[in-house]
Amino acid sequence: MTIVPGDAGPHAVPSRPVPSPAADTPAGSAARHPSAVGGRLDTYLDGVVAALHDRGVRTGAPERTDAADRLVGSVVLDCSAVRTAGPRVPPVGGAVGPGQPTPVAAVWDEQEGWSVRLDDGSGPRHLRPDLLPDAGVVADFVVGLALGRCRGADHPVGPPVPGRPHLRLVR
């Protein structure tokens, strides 16, 4: 997966080369094409699903919007068999029960980052501060919500800022 730092300003030194719109090479155009951006999102969502499965969270197949528009990806969740660690640890089972809101869907938005919808209708819980965190961080957040160990933020991360990783190569 190609994730590059966003524009960090005129004095920043990028850790990896970032194609500029002025240097529109065939390879740069291909990397910015919606199918390439969508492919990077598919790979990222697949990694999140794998990390969720490692923690005992059952999921539906990840879905995403058309990459020509605002990118949004979502995963339906079933947290009835979550684990607190890796795949060899037995499920915690009874920790997710009556009275505890249960995560039902995880949604990633390129402008707002990750949010998790709960079954109690209380509104989405947001994972902060990163717009594009590692897959394991997302899975740990979902499990933390399912077990009542974290609450998440009331507000989304917000649009990408200079230096924050994002899926599109050029803004």
How much of the chain, in percent, has pLDDT values that exceed 90?
Answer: 31
Return the higher-pLDDT residue of 126 and 169: 126
Residue 22 one-letter amino acid = A
Structure tokens of 37? 């951006």
Q: Under a CB-based contact definition with an 8 Å cutoff, are residues 56 and 77 in contact? A: no
pLDDT tens by residue, 19-67: 333 344 545 555 556 678 888 889 999 999 999 999 999 999 999 987 7
Angstrom distance (rounded) from CA 71 to CA 143: 24
pLDDT tens by residue, 75-90: 999 988 876 555 554 4
**Is the model's pTM score more than 0.85?**
no
Query: What 8-state DSSP symbol labels residue 32?
Result: H
- Residue 42 φ/ψ region, left for φ over 0, alpha for ψ in the -120 to 50 degree band, beta for the rest: alpha
Return the higher-pLDDT residue of 69 and 85: 69
Angstrom distance (rounded) from CA 21 to CA 170: 7
Give me the residue spans of the domains in the chain.
25-159
Structure tokens of 146? 């399912």
Structure tokens of 109? 């938005």
